[in-house]
Chain A
Amino acid sequence: NAGVTQTPKFQVLKTGQSMTLQCAQDMNHEYMSWYRQDPGMGLRLIHYSVGAGITDQGEVPNGYNVSRSTTEDFPLRLLSAAPSQTSVYFCASSASGSGNQPQHFGDGTRLSIL
């Protein structure tokens, strides 16, 4: 099992550019989520999904878009990149549709916005 796979691992963007961070899991997990990690602030939830076709906002959703067309994939879209979105992004999945089970994290995407 690969677990949770994130691509790319590193990315540099210019302000205003858009891009999609990919996340895929092969554990048939219902719950998937995106977090950003900034120094001294822990992990903050951006968006989450409890199954295909169902998504909801987290703590810091502004500037990000998600969709869940399949159980396996949960891409995160930056609509117009801003320097404040420079961060490490983690995708996670959990077996329970409610999210009340251990979350398995991917290796992260390190994103720099110039």
Chain B
Amino acid sequence: GENVEQHPSTLSVQEGDSAVIKCTYSDSASNYFPWYKQELGKRPQLIIDIRSNVGEKKDQRIAVTLNKTAKHFSLHITETQPEDSAVYFCAASSRQGEYGNKLVFGAGTILRVKS
């Protein structure tokens, strides 16, 4: 089955700097890659996603890049702000089950933005 590895596990940056989180996946059939942000004690919330037919996607300060050949994708946050501090999860979706896709998550990255 699919396996997703996420690095780093913790990341501290100065306010205004950029942050990059990287994930690798094992199943070449995976075709959907969402990123979730989770604040302490809250639900995970989708911040951006990308499909396998696209190499890059951007939404204001957030961007995601996908390299299908190398089977890795990355989250880029520019001009970080204290409110970006949270746990970020990557995930990969592939058709593993009998009926539909399964979403496999990375272990998460704790991002701390220091002001």
Residue positions of A touching B, CB distance < 8 A: 31, 33, 35, 40-45, 48, 50, 54, 56-59, 90, 97-108
Inside 8 A of B6's CB, which chain A residues have their CB? Answer: 42
Interface residue count for B (Cβ, 8 Å)?
28
Interchain residue pairs with CB less than 8 A apart (25): A31-B100, A40-B108, A42-B6, A42-B89, A42-B105, A42-B107, A42-B108, A43-B44, A43-B105, A48-B100, A48-B102, A50-B99, A50-B100, A54-B99, A56-B97, A56-B99, A58-B97, A58-B102, A59-B104, A98-B100, A99-B100, A101-B32, A102-B34, A104-B46, A105-B43
Inside 8 A of A58's CB, which chain B residues have their CB? Answer: 97, 102
Please tell me if the beta carbons of A33 and B99 are within 8 angstroms of each other in the complex: no
Residue positions of B touching A, CB distance < 8 A: 1, 6, 9, 31-32, 34, 42-46, 49, 89, 91, 93, 95, 97-108
Closest residue on chain B to residue A56 by CB atoms: B97
Inside 8 A of A107's CB, which chain B residues have their CB? Answer: 42-43
Complex: A40 Cα to B9 Cα, angstroms: 9
Inside 8 A of B31's CB, which chain A residues have their CB? Answer: 100
Complex: A1 Cα to B34 Cα, angstroms: 23
Complex: A94 Cα to B102 Cα, angstroms: 12
Please tell me if the beta carbons of B34 and A99 are within 8 angstroms of each other in the complex: no
Taking A43-B44, A101-B32 as given, write out 15 further A-B residue pairs in contact, using a Cβ cutoff of 8 Å, ordered by the A residue number: A35-B105, A40-B108, A42-B6, A43-B89, A48-B97, A54-B99, A56-B99, A57-B97, A59-B1, A98-B101, A99-B103, A100-B31, A100-B101, A102-B34, A107-B43
Closest residue on chain B to residue A57 by CB atoms: B97
Please tell me if the beta carbons of A33 and B1 are within 8 angstroms of each other in the complex: no
CB within 8 A of A99: which of B43, B89, B98, B101? B101
Inside 8 A of A43's CB, which chain B residues have their CB? Answer: 44, 89, 91, 105
